[in-house]
Amino acid sequence: NRKVTTHRLQEMKQRGEKISMLTAYDYSMASIVDQAGMDVILVGDSASNVMAGNTTTLPMTLDQMIYHGKSVVNGVKRALVIVDMPFGSCSGNPTLSLEAAIRVMKETGADALKIEGGKEIIADIKKIIDAGIPVMGHLGLMPQSINKYGTYAVRAKDGAEADKLMADATLLQEVGCFGIVLEKIPATLAEQVAKELAIPMIGIGAGGGVDGQVLVIHDMLGINKDFSPKFLRRYADLHTMMSQAVQSYIKDVKESDFPNEKESY
């Protein structure tokens, strides 16, 4: 049960073993996910949505990512922990980007970072990797660019955007990224990228032809009731379970059933 490394993900791709990845944002959840045997835990900037209740990931700050990152690292023994660089922290000024990246690595103890984007920020990514920090890329639907797209619809359906995605993926591999998240793109394109590149492709809404899968934990546990894209599979209905537990507690308090004698000092 040794610690998962970026090198180990490479080996898993080579021998065709699929990589499991899930988000977590706090100590308690991360402990459960790690002890269940997850390969990779992503401290996603989706914390903006599921932890903070924002409608986009844009408000997330570096300090907030560091708070979540440190909390997750405290709960993890085996999984590789990756922290998302938030919107604006890696945007075409390599010196500032490296400074931000170093802060996250130092203050969280995470193993690696994930950064949205391709060619436009390749100098930033190269500088961070050259400083010794492992970076995972993120292409396809990039939620930090939602104001540019105007929609969370499937990306790279046309030839031009698919070509750019393939070129960006190749570029990310060339500068030394250890893997790439492919979000919400056609399964055929994702499979083609996974076949053509040596580094692992982790899909979300990208079909089964990639090297691993990632989901947002609140979505797959059914804590979110109102988010049901086609790609999501729900493995539990925690919304109902939690709601019922909370209602039972309210009832017991109101009826003076809780606490009873055994629960008192």
Token pair, residue 130, equals: 């050259």
Point out the catalytic residue in the list 17, 183, 196, 261. 183
Q: Which residue is nearest to ligand KIV (CB)?
A: 44
What is the smallest separation between the CB atom of 183 and ligand KIV, expressed in angstroms? 6
Count of CB atoms situated within 10 Å of the CB of 166: 17
Active site residue 183: yes
181 interacts with, out of Na ion, ligand KIV, none, CB within 5 to 8 A per kind: ligand KIV
Rank residues 86 and 244 by Cβ distance to ligand KIV and give the closer one: 86
Query: Binding residues for ligand KIV, per CB under 6 A?
Result: 23, 42, 44-46, 84, 181, 183, 204, 214, 216
Rank residues 84 and 168 by Cβ distance to Na ion and give the closer one: 84
Rank residues 183 and 211 by Cβ distance to ligand KIV and give the closer one: 183
Query: Binding residues for Na ion, per CB under 5 A?
Result: 44-45, 84
Omega before residue 259 within 30° of 0, cis? yes
What is the smallest separation between the CB atom of 69 and Na ion, expressed in angstroms? 13
What is the smallest separation between the CB atom of 138 and ligand KIV, expressed in angstroms? 6
C-alpha to C-alpha distances, 44 to 69, 77, 154, nearest whole angstrom: 9, 19, 20
Rank residues 54 and 248 by Cβ distance to ligand KIV and give the closer one: 54
216 interacts with, out of Na ion, ligand KIV, none, CB within 5 to 8 A per kind: ligand KIV
What is the smallest separation between the CB atom of 258 and ligand KIV, expressed in angstroms? 37
Is 84 annotated to bind ligand? Answer: yes
112 interacts with, out of ligand KIV, Na ion, none, CB within 5 to 8 A per kind: none
90 interacts with, out of Na ion, ligand KIV, none, CB within 5 to 8 A per kind: none
- Binding residues for 3-methyl-2-oxobutanoate are 45-46, 84, 114
Q: Just list the catalytic residues.
A: 183
- Binding residues are 45-46, 84, 114, 116
